Amino acid sequence: MMINIKSLSEIELMRRAGKISKNALIVAGKLMKPGTTTAEVDHAVEQYILSEGATPSFKGYGGFPASACISVNEEVIHGIPGDRVMQSGDIVSVDVGACYEGYHGDCAATFAVGDVSEDKKALIEVTRQSFYEGIKFARPGYRISDISSAIQAYAESQGYSVVRQYVGHGIGTSLHEAPEVPNFGRPGYGPRLIPGMTLAVEPMINMGVYDVRVLSDDWTVVTVDGMPSAHYENTILITDNEPEILTLSNEICEICYL
């Protein structure tokens, strides 16, 4: 599969899509309170994306019925928003994509609802940090699996496991493009990184074992041992030097672990 290298004008559109995506994630983060349903969060995300002249990338993608993937506790990714009421102590992963003038942004984070245990908070923080450990290698001179390897090494050094069955991806005019960006593996493999590549880097980190399975709704991915999982994702641009995070907001959201 060919990797699409983006032009400057394409990158500008991806910055717009990325900002809308991250702002939508912040909208979700502010609603992370006990008593709120996941459908209410999804509705707010969708309204925000539409109000910005964009469309929700996930709605209808492969038949997915909502604008945000909302995954609670042992749910890893692809949770379907609905009547579930969020409770104090839950950790909730929200994954949001927005498409602006044909270009996608994709980002995710895990939020704490009410009073959350220290071990769940640590899982959230390590997952976020594993993204930043990975993108230290997201620059020319390295290959895709150098990012993967750094994510895995950090997450495992903290006592967690890395989901294998789902991976990050290239992104642009399609939500998922080549190449795949795994969160595990030996360094030095895969395509060389060159300026103009745009990648969604998205570690999914489990407190227990790395194995996951899909529920009978055909979407929701859960840990097989029922232990909690966290997710963190940004869309990045490979440049001549450090990567640029395209899913960036002007807003600082401290409660959101963004």
**Residue 93 vs 145, nearer CB to Mg ion:** 93
Q: Least distance in Å: CB of 200 to Mg ion?
A: 4
CA distance 127 to 109: 9
**Residue 146 vs 202, nearer CB to Mg ion:** 202
Chain residues binding Mg ion by CB under 5 A are 106, 200, 202
Q: Least distance in Å: CB of 221 to Mg ion?
A: 13
**Residue 116 vs 204, nearer CB to Mg ion:** 204
Compute the CA torsion angle 19, 93, 35, 56 (nearest 10 deg): 40
Query: How many helices and strands in the chain, by DSSP H and E?
Result: 4, 15
**Residue 116 vs 184, nearer CB to Mg ion:** 184
CA distance 122 to 141: 32
CA distance 257 to 51: 24
CA distance 42 to 253: 19
Q: Least distance in Å: CB of 202 to Mg ion?
A: 5
Phi, psi of 176 (to 5 degrees): -120, 115
Partners of 103 in beta bridges:
100
- Beta strands of the chain (E only): which ranges? 55-56, 68-72, 75-77, 91-100, 103-112, 161-162, 168-170, 177-181, 198-201, 204-206, 212-214, 221-223, 229-231, 234-237, 244-245
**Residue 42 vs 106, nearer CB to Mg ion:** 106
Q: Least distance in Å: CB of 40 to Mg ion?
A: 23
Q: Least distance in Å: CB of 51 to Mg ion?
A: 23
**Residue 73 vs 93, nearer CB to Mg ion:** 93
Q: Least distance in Å: CB of 233 to Mg ion?
A: 5
